[in-house]
Amino acid sequence: MIDLRLLREDPDTVRASQRARGDNEGLVDAVLAADERRRASLAEFERTRAEQKALGKQVASATPETRPHLLAQTKALAEQVKSLEADARAADVELTDLSTRIDNVVEPEAPVGGEDDYTVLREVGAPRDFAAEGFTPKDHVELGERLGAIDLDRGAKVSGARFYFLTGVGARLELALLMCAVDQAVAAGFSPVITPTLVKPEVMRGTGFLGAHSDEIYHLPADDLYLVGTSEVALAGYHSDEVVDLSQGPKRYAGWSACYRREAGSHGKDTRGIIRVHQFHKVEMFSYCRVEEARDEHQRLLAWEEEMLAKVEIPYRVIDVAAGDLGSSAARKFDCEAWVPTQGRYREVTSTSNCTTYQARRLNVREKDPREGVTSNRFVATLNGTLATTRWIVAILENHQQPDGSVLVPKALQPYMGGLDVLTPVR
């Protein structure tokens, strides 16, 4: 939810954010007008209620001659107060509805534009020259099938399109990847968490996922619960309606969960393999921190993602995502994209977002204000970042393949696979 104080004091900053996102600037003025109506309605309600209370005291001490007139006045005021209270509530509902339509205010450093207007910050590692090595690389589907690691046909038979089985070394590889991520997170001070994959509407709404892309989320109407597309959702709701203690630094969690996405609007895109699927597993970093520390924390999350990518020894690049592609809750987002040889391009494997106070306002997560002399509570900042997910298997298989169809296991993952260093074809 947008910071109303910022909106009142610096509406031009919010207008600039809306322009950068390609969103409606007019919403800013609509929210300001609704805010004025709410405050005016509330002031009139409180003034009339005070008058009603004062008149009630007069009735208690009134003479028999004046009491009937005062009682009639009191009754009329009571009706007026009731009407004004309804007006104030309606104005508050209108303000809430309009203000939740404004996405988080973009950090000024974020590139302006849409999906293709990102800025490449750096490229790490050089793609292999398979032609110089004398063979044509196979894609992850062919490799996975020969290794007995991926079974797409039976996934479709059991569950439909965009589902799959990870079998044998495929299952072991995913578990190795996720466990390696958890161990790295724990070493960095994160608390590991197995999160629920079903959440209430208020939690899904609080994280900002029930906006423009709500059609990508699975909903169970009979239970009015949503399947999460990331453990960020459950972790954002973990401290909802709480006052958290950040005096010793950020509260960091590493959530492991199955994730579900309908992939609405992606018909015809990435239909082959396990790049764009309906179900996958992921280890997600989530941090609650003080507002002043959020930018530095964002850089730390990105560094941890790059540390994990270095462990699996694949070329990647880091991009600064443009404002129009941030999603509603992020003020700034960095993606790491791994090189996929058979596609000749980079594909997203991690994403880290600074959501500033946007989610905390919607979910009411606060801390005691650390500033000297201030006794009130204030909203915290929330950040998230992918540490490993199923999609990484695509890049691992393709980048580490050998001419005979075998795949070398990255050294960092070998201890999690019982020392296995090569995946060999079984068919």
Q: How far apart are CA 335 and CA 345, in angstroms?
A: 14
What's the pLDDT at 60? 75
What's the pLDDT at 75? 81
Regarding whether 253 and 381 lie in a shared domain, the answer is yes
Ramachandran class of 199: left when φ > 0, alpha when ψ lies in -120 to 50, beta otherwise: beta
Regarding whether 78 and 157 lie in a shared domain, the answer is no
CB neighbour burial string for 369-393, b if at least 16 within 10 angstroms, e if fewer? eeeeeeeeebbbbbbbbbbbbbbbb
Regarding whether 185 and 93 lie in a shared domain, the answer is no
Give, in degrees to the nearest 5, the angle at Cα 18 between 14 and 24.
120
Residue 250 lies in a domain: yes
Regarding whether 32 and 181 lie in a shared domain, the answer is no
Integer angstrom CA distances of residue 225 from 203, 222, 228, 232, 364: 10, 8, 9, 16, 20
Given 36, 65, 99, the domain boundary residue is 99
In this structure, what CATH number is given to the domain that contains residue 358?
Answer: 3.30.930.10
Total domains in the chain come to 2
What's the pLDDT at 68? 78
Residue 422: enclosing H or E segment and its boundaries? strand 422-423
Regarding whether 317 and 408 lie in a shared domain, the answer is yes
What's the pLDDT at 379? 97
| Residues contacting residue 305 through CB under 8 Å, at least 6 positions apart | 336, 350, 352, 385, 386, 387
Given 68, 99, 130, the domain boundary residue is 99
DSSP string computed for 256-294: EEEEE---TT-TTSS-SSSSS-SEEEEEEEEEEE-GGGH
Given 70, 99, 128, the domain boundary residue is 99
Residue 146 lies in a domain: yes
Give, in degrees to the nearest 5, the angle at Cα 309 between 335 and 172.
115
* Residues classed as catalytic: 261, 276, 348, 351, 391
In this structure, what CATH number is given to the domain that contains residue 64?
Answer: 1.10.287.40
Regarding whether 322 and 175 lie in a shared domain, the answer is yes
Integer angstrom CA distances of residue 344 from 159, 248, 338, 341, 395: 30, 45, 11, 5, 12
Give, in degrees to the nearest 5, the angle at Cα 328 between 325 and 330.
75
DSSP strands (E only) in 47-182: 119-124, 150-151, 165-166
What's the pLDDT at 265? 66
- Residue pair 359/382 in contact (Cβ under 8 Å)? The answer is yes
Q: How far apart are CA 289 and CA 299, in angstroms?
A: 13
Residue 285 lies in a domain: yes
Residue 111 lies in a domain: no
Residue 339 lies in a domain: yes
Residue 107 lies in a domain: no
Regarding whether 223 and 79 lie in a shared domain, the answer is no
Integer angstrom CA distances of residue 228 from 174, 197, 225, 342: 20, 5, 9, 31
Closest by CA position to 376, among listed 366, 385, 386 = 366
63: domain range?
Answer: 4-99
Packed helices 26-60 and 11-21: angle between N→C axes, nearest 10 degrees: 140
Regarding whether 28 and 165 lie in a shared domain, the answer is no
Say whether 225 sits in a helix, a strand or coil: strand
Regarding whether 92 and 127 lie in a shared domain, the answer is no
Residue 85, token pair as written in the block: 């209270």
Say whether 149 sits in a helix, a strand or coil: coil
Residue 106 lies in a domain: no
pLDDT tens for each residue of the chain, 427 residues long = 778 889 999 999 999 999 999 999 999 999 999 999 999 999 988 888 888 888 777 877 777 878 777 777 878 888 888 888 888 889 889 998 888 889 999 999 999 999 999 999 999 999 999 999 999 999 999 999 999 999 999 999 999 999 999 999 999 999 999 999 999 999 999 999 999 999 999 999 999 988 767 888 999 999 999 999 999 999 999 999 999 999 999 999 999 999 999 987 677 777 799 999 999 999 999 999 999 999 999 999 999 999 999 999 999 999 999 999 999 999 999 999 999 999 999 999 999 999 999 999 999 999 998 888 888 999 999 999 999 999 999 999 999 999 999 999 999 999 999 999 999 999 8
What's the pLDDT at 394? 98
Residue 108 lies in a domain: no
Regarding whether 75 and 41 lie in a shared domain, the answer is yes
What's the pLDDT at 270? 79
Q: How far apart are CA 367 and CA 106, in angstroms?
A: 23
Residue 296, token pair as written in the block: 């530095």
Regarding whether 238 and 123 lie in a shared domain, the answer is yes
Regarding whether 183 and 268 lie in a shared domain, the answer is yes
